[in-house]
Amino acid sequence: MREMILKKLGMEREESIAILSSCKEGVLAYFDEDNTLAEEACSYVFKGDTLELLNEDHLLNEGKASFAVVKENKVIPEDFNVLYKSVICFGEVVLTDDKAVFKIQHLTGKKAEELL
């Protein structure tokens, strides 16, 4: 069933890349040093298959993580609904001397049909 939902609501890779290129903030989810799920809002720069995370106060661990970006968010109060486009990346955080880099291994995009 999940595969059918993604086919119905999914967007092409090129559109997902365009969203990552045009946005500046997202949410990184990862496991902290206590193996507890943590989420953190991060500014980023998209370069090829990596996101350079710009938050200097991050307390990240290297390892598997996900990164989500939402664009074109439209609230419809009368329907108790939200129309949006989003991109979720799955991959790995790598720490360097001066920054954290999120290496994308899998990219998924979703959009509400009304925004097509």
HEC readout, 49-79: CEEEECCCCCCCCCEEEEEEEEEEEEEEHHH
* Domain layout of the chain by residue ranges: 2-115
Tell me the pLDDT tens digit for each residue of 38-62.
888 889 999 988 999 886 555 667 8
Is the pTM of the predicted complex or chain greater than 0.85? no
The second-level CATH assignment, the architecture, of 2-115 is Roll (2.30)
Instruction: Check pLDDT > 90 for residue 22.
Output: yes
DSSP codes joined into one string, 30-54: EE-TTS-EEEEEEEEEEETTEEEE-
Percentage of the chain modeled with pLDDT above 90? 20
Which pLDDT band, with edges at 50, 70 and 90, does 23 fall under? very high
Residue 59 confidence (pLDDT): 61
